Structure 1
Amino acid sequence: MSELFLENINIINQRWPQIAKEITLEAVSEFDAVLVTGKNQTISVNGIQLSSRHNRMAEAQLYIDQLDTNCNTVTLYGVGMGDVPSLLIDINNLESIDIAPLNLSIFALLLTYTDQREWLSDSRVNLIQPEQYQLAENYLAIAADLVLADEQNSVIRDFLVMENNREFINSIHLANDREIEEIHKLNFEALNRDPSADHIKLHVKTNTKASIIASGPTLETHYEALKKQRNLPPQERPIMIAVDTALIALTSQGITPDIVVTLDKNITLQHFPAKLPSDTSLVYFPNSNPDVINNWKGKKFNAYSNRPIFDECNKNSPKIRLYTNGSVIHPTVDLAVQLGLQEISLYGCDFSYPHNKTHAYWQDGVLGPSINLKKNHWVLNGHNQRVPTDLNFRAYLRYLEIYILAKPEIKFYQLSKLGAKIAGTHYRD
């Protein structure tokens, strides 16, 4: 241990003994860490600089300028090179400064080679392990630390990244709203003709279990189990609800779900089997593809998402409102809950690329993502191992977790440990 580390850790041990204990257990030798010199010096960890090498303090000030000038508390996610906390303690009106390292190994590395004693000694500073599913009211997040976050902080990392991208995502929604209005006009007659999806309750009867089937790669390992499930007497088997892109995978194996949910205009007839099942109900939205709706052979029901754009539509023609947040899996799960189903098993809900594939059945790249493109993002699977994914899949996962954690009265199960671990669920063989 370096002399600097001992001096830094001595302060931490006096103030936060449990965190000090955890830091001393971290291995810093596993990193590819080098000193990088420009006008200033910084540390590069696995190719990611912890700060600017040209003007560290100017960069730190850019972070601080994001704060509301009237706030008296702040949480800093990540530490960088320690420049931001060193400037924060100079702000007199700050009464509380919470510092949340997102990777204790990197923090230990920083303590080994740099002097952080000034801000560590400030009475307003508190080192914390952050809440994973709740962002602080006033916060700053160091970009490098988001990239280098460890497994323990992968959830809060995802929420911070999602929040950083919120303005861009909202701008896309504004453009999509105009497209939705145009497709809504094409689907106007069907929306008025077909009943709201809550009428499916008449068909659910006394069943309390549901199998929710997405098109993740692990679905392929459950075909035989789903066949057996489908062959049970109707009063014994779970209601089988599939997302649109999973239908062709299921029918290729002789499995016919009770309900299919489709949300996106970009999911066309080419994404469905040539022979559409006549005994499967379709749940669609105003922005679903008109050709899919018009050519469906079975019963058809509709719904609105919970987005404000549909508030006026709902006043004029009330429909069930389903939770949506980027993925068709969200309204599919919410539909099961609103139908009164109390036990929900998730098949193929992987939010990642196990088996070196993006989807069950589909050829690589047909549905957009390709396993051949470099995957810089990851989530933890049921074995607490990192599995590759894309940024949007991470967001879909976290929004589903928020939903599930808000429904403690519902039992949620996952059927595979190879896909992303979903908080609030239990594993079932």
Structure 2
Amino acid sequence: MTELFSTNLQIIQQRWPALALALNSQNIENLDAKLVTATNQTISVNGIQLSSRYNRLAEAQLLINQISTDERKVTVYGLGMGDVPSLLIDSKTVKQIDICILNLQVLALLLSYTDQTEWLDDSRVTIIHSPSQDRFDDNAISVLPDLLLASDENSRLRDLLVLENNREYANKKHQSDDPKIIKRFKENQRLLEQDPDAASLSLIHTQNNALIVGAGPSLELHYEYLRSQRALPIGLRPLMIAVDTALMGLISEEIIPDIVVSIDSEIKKKHFPDVIPPSIKLVYFPRVAYKVLIDWPGERFNAYSKNSLYDELDSHTPKLRLFSNGSVIHPAIDLAVYLNTKELTLFGCDFSYPNDKTHAFWEDGALGADASHAKHWVLNGHGKRVPTELNFRAYLRSLEHYIHTHPQVKFYQSSLEGALIHGAQYRECKI
């Protein structure tokens, strides 16, 4: 314990005794920490600088400028070197400053080597050391280094914050004035008018249970179970909806789903088996390549995302609108919910790379991603970190929000090897 830690902790003990107790139990020795000096000094933790080493105050002011200081309350996620709250307490309009801690170890380290007493002693400041994992405040600042260093306990909140910070950039790929999108919509206009609405599937499929099949690696553990489900009499057989990239693996195992969902403009003929049983129905968004659609041997049904990108199409050629926030898993699940299924079991919905593998059936890298290059992580069903991609984390959190808003449906996940899906119970699926 350093003298600075004792000085900082004295204030914390008076104001937040539970936090003081937690900080006293932190071991900072296993952190790879060192002082980094340029124009300013900062601390590097596990290779990540807690702030700029050239102009810390300018960096902190840049973050503050992104929110409204006219609001009475500002929330700060993470601390960096403590520069953001140090500047915020100079504001005359801000009446409440909530500091959400994302890693107690890093906070203990910061308090051990820097003087944070000025803002710690400000009555407007509240430190929240166990922040909610399901929501975040709108008028908020996210300190990037703390997001990168977030503890396991705060990984879900970290993902929500990263998703929000990147939302505007991600949406740039889905603009209605994009020439490529306009061209694809025109190519598929005749099919949109000709093919039936996916909503009409409610007249065909009335099962209470559905099996949703993604292309994650854990799918390979359940081929035998899924095959046994397809062998059931039609009246007892659950509805099976698969995503497009899962079909190759399913067909290779002689498993024939009821419906395949495809939404991505990058999906090509090579992503499908050479021979597709004509009994499989295709539900597609109009961004799917025309060649994929016209070569589909079975029935085709179309639908749109709820994204505003499809508003104009829907105004003159209305179709079922399905939830989608980047992953084809989303509309596959929403379709099953639309069809009034009461229980959904997820297969291959890993949102990660268990056993350092990207997909079932496919070679690593064949669908673009490479597990060996993954720089991010999520917690799996065993509470262990598994490698993943930034966009997978966003898809996972969007699905969890969807599950939370559909309490009338029971969700199950069939594997604990992939990402833990909050709101979905584990169901062992064996013969």
Q: How does the TM-score come out when normalised to structure 2? A: 0.96
| Alpha-carbon distance in 2 for matches of 1:295, 1:45 | 54
Is the 1:286–1:304 contact (alpha carbons within 8 Å) kept by the matching residues of 2?
Answer: yes
Is the 2:102–2:154 contact (alpha carbons within 8 Å) kept by the matching residues of 1?
Answer: yes
Matches within 5 A, 1:8-407: 8-128=8-128, 129-174=130-175, 177-205=178-206, 207-373=207-373, 375-407=374-406
| Alpha-carbon distance in 1 for matches of 2:165, 2:108 | 27
| Alpha-carbon distance in 2 for matches of 1:29, 1:238 | 53
C-alpha RMSD of the superposition: 1.4
Structure 2 counterpart SS, 1:303 = strand
Is the 1:77–1:99 contact (alpha carbons within 8 Å) kept by the matching residues of 2?
Answer: yes
Give the partner amino acid of 1:120. Answer: L
1:242-275 Cα deviation digits (max 9, x unpaired): 0000001000001000100011121111111100
Distance 1:154 1:79, change over 3 A: same
| Alpha-carbon distance in 1 for matches of 2:332, 2:305 | 11
1:353-397 Cα deviation digits (max 9, x unpaired): 012110000011111101232x22111100111100111111111
Is the 1:4–1:115 contact (alpha carbons within 8 Å) kept by the matching residues of 2?
Answer: yes
Name which of structure 1's ranges 393-402 and 332-341 shifts more when overlaid on structure 2. 393-402
Distance 1:277 1:139, change over 3 A: same
| Alpha-carbon distance in 2 for matches of 1:397, 1:283 | 22
Structure 1 counterpart SS, 2:371 = coil
Is the 2:69–2:94 contact (alpha carbons within 8 Å) kept by the matching residues of 1?
Answer: no
Structure 2 counterpart SS, 1:181 = helix
1:323-355 Cα deviation digits (max 9, x unpaired): 111111110010000010010000000011012
Structure 2 counterpart SS, 1:204 = coil
Distance 1:214 1:176, change over 3 A: farther
Instruction: Among all aligned residue pairs of Structure 1 and Structure 2, give the percentage whose two residues are the same amino acid.
Output: 54
Is the 2:175–2:309 contact (alpha carbons within 8 Å) kept by the matching residues of 1?
Answer: no
Structure 2 counterpart SS, 1:185 = helix
Give the partner amino acid of 1:45. Answer: V
1:18-71 Cα deviation digits (max 9, x unpaired): 222222222211110111122222111011111122222222222222222422
CA positional deviation for 1:6: 2.0
| Alpha-carbon distance in 1 for matches of 2:328, 2:56 | 43
Q: How many residues are matched?
A: 427
Is the 1:177–1:309 contact (alpha carbons within 8 Å) kept by the matching residues of 2?
Answer: no
CA positional deviation for 1:163: 2.2
The runs of 5 or more residues in structure 1 that have no matched partner are none
Name which of structure 1's ranges 17-26 and 144-153 shifts more when overlaid on structure 2. 17-26
| Alpha-carbon distance in 1 for matches of 2:105, 2:320 | 48
Distance 1:103 1:177, change over 3 A: same
| Alpha-carbon distance in 2 for matches of 1:69, 1:21 | 32
Structure 1 counterpart SS, 2:175 = helix
Q: How does the TM-score come out when normalised to structure 1? A: 0.97
| Alpha-carbon distance in 2 for matches of 1:319, 1:68 | 40
CA positional deviation for 1:292: 1.8
Is the 2:213–2:347 contact (alpha carbons within 8 Å) kept by the matching residues of 1?
Answer: yes
1:82-101 Cα deviation digits (max 9, x unpaired): 11111111111110000011
Give the partner amino acid of 1:178. Answer: P
Is the 1:218–1:418 contact (alpha carbons within 8 Å) kept by the matching residues of 2?
Answer: yes
| Alpha-carbon distance in 2 for matches of 1:29, 1:175 | 52
Is the 2:69–2:91 contact (alpha carbons within 8 Å) kept by the matching residues of 1?
Answer: no
Name which of structure 1's ranges 191-200 and 21-30 shifts more when overlaid on structure 2. 21-30
Name which of structure 1's ranges 123-132 and 3-12 shifts more when overlaid on structure 2. 3-12
